[in-house]
Structure 1
C-alpha cells in the first residue's frame, strides 16, 4: 500500500472550535452503502438508434409532430468507503449515461419518468429478484431537479443554459436527484453495464465522461452527506476522512459477452 500524501494525512493536532458555517443549507442526505443493494441482469434492451445521425433524425421527427422533446435522467447516489458513488450505465464499453430516456409526448413528467426508471432498472416480474425487493420496485423518490441541459438545434451539442436568441429549443434534458432507500434490487439489461462511479473520478473529467456527467460533482456539492453503515448507523458525515485506496469505479451488473474496447465519452 502506497503512503498517503502529506496533504491528505490526518493531523494529530485538533483545531480550535470555530463558529458554525452551516446556514442556508438543505438537510443532510443519508447515503447507504453499496453492499445494501442487490444487482442483477435482465433481457437486452437494444438502443433505438444505431447511429447519432439516426438519433438526430428521430429528434427532428418528434419536434415536427410534438414540439420540444423532454428527456429525464436520474442521479442515484450510494457510498463505498464513505465516498459518494453515482450509479450510471455503460453501453458497448464506450457510452456512459445516466438511467433515463425521453418522455412520450403525452406523458406526465414525473409519472412518465418513474415508468422509464422501472423499465431501465427494476427487475422483471418473472425474476426471483423481484420478490426480494422492498414493496415497490417501481416507486422512485425523485426529490429535485439538479440541472437542465438545452439542445437549441438538431445537433449533438447541449448547453446548461438556453443560448441567446434561441426561442424554439429542440430538447430539454432534466437531471433529477433520486434518493435511494436503505435497500433495493436493481437489474440492468444484459447489453449494458451498471457502474458505481466515485465523484472524484467524474470531477473535471470531461475528456472521459463528457461535460454533463463530469459536472455531477458540482450539482451534488450543495448537499451535506451522512454515511450510513449496513446496520443503519451513521458512521461518517461531511466533511469526511481520507479517501480509501479501494474506492474506484465498480462494475455492478451486466455487460456479458462484450468485447473489450477503448472507453470514450459520449453524451447528448
Structure 2
C-alpha cells in the first residue's frame, strides 16, 4: 500500500537551541554492556526513531541530528517496557526536538524564517507509517533489516516511523548537536559515510508518494 506524505519547504522551519543532551553511554562498549544488562532484566530492547522529511528545490531531504563532525542519527531512543511504539516515539521526539519546559525563547541564528509556531507537548507529533525494522541478533554493533533465521532471541528491534511535519514548526536542538537536512541522493548507497542503515533510507522511502507543498 502506498503511503502519501506531504513535504513542506525547508525554509518553513525554524531552529532554536536548548541545553545539551549528552549521550547516555560514553562509548560503544559501554552502550552494548548496558544493553546486555537491560536485556537480562527486561528482555529485548525496543527502539524507535522518527523520519522527518522536507523538500528543497523539489527534492526530499531528511532531517538528521549531527553529533560531532561525522556522526549522524535520527531522533529517537529506546522505549520503556510499558510504552507503545507510537506514544513512545512521540515522547522521544518531544524530548529531542521539543522546547525546554520552562522557555519558549532562544531562536537560534539559523532560524530560517522566524515565524514558526512553537511546538507543544508530545501529542503534537503526528506519527505516520512504519517504514522499516532493524534487528540486533547479539550484543554487537551491527543490525540487520531482517531477523536472521537462526536467531530466536534477538537483543533489540529498532523501528523507523514517518513523521508528518506540520506546515511550519520550531525545532529546538540541543546545543551540543546540530540538525542538518540531507538530500536523499546524498544518503543513497553512501554507507561509508552514513552507515548501512541510513544509506538504506532512500530505498525504503521509494514506496512513499511525496506531495510537495509550497
> Is 1:34 aligned to 2:18, yes or no?
no
Consecutive unaligned residues in structure 2, runs of 5 or more: 107-114
Partner of residue 182, structure 1: 167
Measure the CA separation in 1 of the matches of 2:144 and 2:181. Answer: 25
SS in 2 for 1:224: strand
Shift of residue 133, structure 1, vs aligned partner: 2.6
Give the alignment's Cα RMSD to 1 decimal.
1.7
Structure 1 residue corresponding to 2:76, chosen from 67, 79, 100? 100
> Is 1:150 aligned to 2:135, yes or no?
yes
Shift of residue 143, structure 1, vs aligned partner: 0.8
Consecutive unaligned residues in structure 1, runs of 5 or more: 1-24, 230-268
8 A Cα contact 2:64 2:74, kept in partner:
yes
Instruction: Give the structure, 1 or 2, with the largest relative contact order (CA under 8 Å, sep 6 or more).
Output: 2
SS in 2 for 1:63: helix
> Is 1:133 aligned to 2:93, yes or no?
no
Structure 2 residue corresponding to 1:118, chosen from 66, 88, 94? 94
Measure the CA separation in 1 of the matches of 2:104 and 2:136. Answer: 41
Measure the CA separation in 1 of the matches of 2:198 and 2:135. Answer: 15
Matched residue count: 205
Q: Tell me the TM-score normalised to structure 2 length.
A: 0.90
Q: Tell me the TM-score normalised to structure 1 length.
A: 0.73
Greater Cα radius of gyration, structure 1 or 2 = 1
Structure 1 residue corresponding to 2:206, chosen from 221, 244, 261? 221
Higher strand share: 2
Residues 159-210 of structure 1 deviation map (CA, whole Å, 9 limit, x = unaligned): 0000111000000000111111111110111111111000000001000001
Measure the CA separation in 2 of the matches of 1:82 and 1:114. Answer: 28
Measure the CA separation in 2 of the matches of 1:27 and 1:66. Answer: 34
Measure the CA separation in 2 of the matches of 1:73 and 1:211. Answer: 16
> Is 1:56 aligned to 2:32, yes or no?
yes
